[in-house]
Amino acid sequence: MNPFALAYREQQQLFIFDKTYILGTLLKVGGLATLLARFIVQFFWNPAVAMVLTLLLLLLSAYMTWAWFRESKKDWKIIPVCLIPAVFIGISLSDNCLHFEYLVSILLVQAGLLIYKGIKTNRALWGVLLTIILYFTAGSAAVIFALCAAFEHRPGCKIGVFRPAVIILAAAVCGITAFFTAAVPTWTDAFTPSLYYDLDATMPKVHWIGWIILPLLSVLFLLSRGRGPFICGLTLLLLTFIPAKKISDKFEAAQPRIGHIFEYYTHNEDWDGLIKACEKAPWLPRTANYLNMALAWKGELAEHLLDYDQRGVSGLVMTTQDRAVDVAQAHIMFAMGNVAAAQDVAFNTLASLQGFCPAMVKINAQVELMRGTYEVADKYLSLLEKAPHYRKWAKEHRRFLYDDAAVEADPLLGNGRRNLEAENHFIMYTSPMTELFPILDANPTDRRTLEYGLCYLLLAKDLNSVKHFITDFYSSPDSPPLPRIAQEAIVFYSEYSRNMEGVEPFGMDWCYGHGVTPETVKRFEEYKKAAVAGPASLKRFRGTYWYYLVHTEI
């Protein structure tokens, strides 16, 4: 298990101490498991805590498995076998599409089994009652209880046929009732672990292992009458780690698609940590999105853009054709200053994950403060105040409610409000960069938006547009200094314009008048000599725009 993958779960839901929320969750099939899982996952904001809590719960599951199968408190020989279910459950939790209630529901079932084990009379009746209770508190995992109770191994006790049949029948009736009352969406959700998997995703078959292994062990213990040497169980446990390792590696290979490590650093605003995490493969578009966003929040996007392997404009912002819900896209739009588009994606994300995504709730709250729709912002802040980890943040932002002067004086909220003056809509109508330029017209003082716009044109190698951009936004006395890479681009374009037909020529006077320094011109002369000398001489120019322009394919 990857601790960052576990920590990512905390951003997939929001547990709040609210009577309506708690009762509403409890009244669903598997509601108690869901509520307990969300209560536990709220502490996963720290990867180390997430890992420790998960391991403790898996150990508890292994102990309860042993307590179910043992014949006496001194029966230690079956311990290795009892660890096997916990191994596969833990591996399954590496898949973030599998909800954490998968583990919690199994724990509830195991608790039910221990209660059932202690019952001496009317066991068929109690088995039916526990099955019904577990189905509506733990969900379809109650099927595990029914199968384990049906094939229970108890020394000197004959099972017969009636008791197993009536308990399994009770589980079947619960599932059928849940489906026909629309308490569960599909037949498979009514009886299988797919109830705990994302609705819009196909569950890998490997998650069945942790599901069926407990009933399977019940059958094996029944057939063997509880006998089995310790060495056999230990060997079986060790052999278990071979497929478990392969499964774990498979999920680990898929995790960059989820971006749980990047999301952890992003919602904690640890930009140095995010940059370090992205350095392993900065050329991948999604990785570059996070990397460049971190540079932008540090105010270093233009300064350090070409310190990394950039390969075109997709490294700044990569969108999907169907505008699918994408948490990363919301973060990036917000950093770019396109707060209306950020809110559009963030709002849709709220309704698409397992529960409210805390980072997306925060973005919605901030944008509503920017808009001045304080009643709506108040609702988002009230929601976050009911979540212990976000209570402090929400209380700090309450001071902006109904205070336009405070909002406009705040660097982030004030910039966002000025950016919204260019937008009369709540969604992104065209492309991210097309909508960026009207925002700059309304608020040219937004440094992040300014650098995103400039870097987009530079990475696109659109030198003519770079020249016009510099004319529009870097020519006034209040403009920031022209970044080095923009100086390099315009010096190159100046020489190019004098040697090519169809391009309006401009000389060094224009360059000097728009922020180019003599040092940049001198370096350009050195670059031209190095380009003639050969590849070895060009190594020291790898971080320049000239090298990117000539040698990088986009």
For residues 237 and 80, the answer to whether their CB atoms sit within 8 Å is yes
Two tokens at 160? 């017969």
d(CA 554, CA 542): 16
Tokens 């601790």 locate to: 3
Is the distance from CB of 547 to CB of 538 less than 8 angstroms?
yes
Cα 55 to Cα 456: distance, rounded to the nearest angstrom: 45
Biggest CA-to-CA distance, the chain? 101
The residues near 412 (Cβ < 8 Å, ≥ 6 apart) are 366
Token pair of 354 as six digits:
């397992």
| C-alpha closest to that of 2 among 55, 52, 51 | 51
98 DSSP β-pair partners: 197
Contacts of 222 (CB under 8 A, 6+ apart): 151, 152, 153, 159
Domain locations in the chain? 3-258, 261-441, 461-551
- Which residue in the block uniquely carries the two structure tokens 């001496």? 120
3-state SS string over 178-207? HHHCCCCCCHHHHHCHHHHECCCCCCCCCH
Q: Are 515 and 470 in contact (CB under 8 A)?
A: yes
pTM: 0.86
pLDDT reported for residue 237 = 58
Concatenating the DSSP letter of every residue in 418-477 gives HHHTT--SSS--S-TTTTHHHHHHH-TT-HHHHHHHHHHHHHTT-HHHHHHHHHHHSSST
DSSP 8-class letter at 543:
T
H-state helical runs in 351-435: 358-371, 374-385, 391-397, 404-409, 411-420
Helices 463-473, 447-459: crossing angle, 10 deg rounding:
160
Report the candidate in 394, 335, 387, 333 with the shortest Cα–Cα distance to residue 362: 394
Contact, 413 vs 370, CB < 8 A? Answer: yes
**DSSP type of residue 95:** S
CB-neighbour burial class of residue 375 (10 A; exposed 0-12, middle 13-18, buried 19+): exposed
Tell me if 211 sits within 8 A of 196, measured CB to CB. no
At 336, the amino acid letter reads: M
Kindly give, in sequence order, each residue whose CB lies less than 8 Å from that of residue 371, ignoring residues fewer than 6 positions away.
417, 420
pLDDT averaged over consecutive 10-residue blocks of the chain (554 residues)?
87 90 93 96 94 96 89 73 86 87 96 92 91 95 92 60 85 95 92 89 84 83 60 57 60 58 92 93 90 96 94 83 67 91 86 76 96 96 95 96 96 92 60 79 90 94 93 88 95 87 85 94 93 86 93 86
Cα–Cα distance between 59 and 66 in angstroms, integer?
A: 11
> What is the distance between the alpha carbons of residues 120 and 116, in angstroms, rounded to a whole number?
9
